[in-house]
């Protein structure tokens, strides 16, 4: 299917950027369960996707969920074709727009690793996540997405999809001795990159 130009996740025109305020932990809107997307390939949906990418890029995010900007829809974006200064040693994750996602763990194995969140600025915590997952859903055109992933890619997807069920990563931290300020835990990361 042909896609209109300018609506892909990699399109980035700073002259028309719309950067939204990201809700912070404590805002009750972050605790809601998001509603499924029911209309696809609409101007409003494509504009929302563009706004999410503009907002994510403006703050060097690895991903962003619609609820983080106050939009109560099951829509997440993640990934980039460039290294992320907030996660400089992590592998690239392909830019993705995922609507109405379903995550299925492939096995019981978990991995703990450090996470941060644009809604929880300046903090990091070690979070357990399934090591390998399958995620399904659709893109903004209603076309199916079905991927099996592991490692950082699996972690990013699980983190972003948690926002759709009203969960922030600190709710998953098991050992609070592994939770603290980024500037203390990771002094090599510029504090401005983490807020």
Residue 72 sits at φ, ψ, to 5 deg, of -85, 60
Whether 77 and 137 have beta carbons less than 8 Å apart is answered as no
Rounded (5°) CA angle 69-77-65: 30
Tokens of 4: 């209109």
CB of 56 closer than 8 Å to CB of 66: no
| Residues catalogued as catalytic | 160
Beta strands in the chain (DSSP E): 63-65, 75-78, 96-105, 110-117, 120-130, 132-138, 144-150, 179-181
């Amino acid at each position: 299917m042909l896609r209109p130009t300018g609506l892909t996740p990699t399109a980035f025109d700073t002259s028309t950027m719309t950067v939204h305020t990201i809700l912070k932990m404590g805002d009750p809107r972050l605790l809601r369960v998001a509603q499924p997307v029911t209309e696809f390939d609409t101007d409003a949906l494509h504009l929302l996707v563009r706004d999410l990418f503009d907002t994510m890029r403006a703050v060097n995010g690895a991903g962003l969920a619609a609820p983080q900007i106050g939009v109560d829809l099951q829509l997440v974006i993640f990934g980039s074709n460039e290294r992320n200064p907030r996660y400089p040693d992590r592998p690239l994750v392909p830019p993705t727009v995922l609507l109405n996602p379903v995550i299925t763990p492939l096995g019981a194995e978990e991995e703990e690793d450090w996470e941060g969140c644009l809604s929880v600025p300046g903090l990091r915590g070690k979070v357990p996540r399934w090591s390998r997952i399958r995620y399904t859903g659709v893109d903004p055109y209603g076309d199916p997405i079905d991927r099996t992933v592991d490692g950082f890619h699996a972690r990013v997807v699980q983190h972003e999809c948690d926002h759709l069920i009203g969960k922030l990563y600190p709710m998953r931290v098991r050992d609070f001795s592994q939770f603290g300020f980024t500037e203390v835990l990771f002094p090599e990361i510029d504090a401005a990159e983490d807020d």
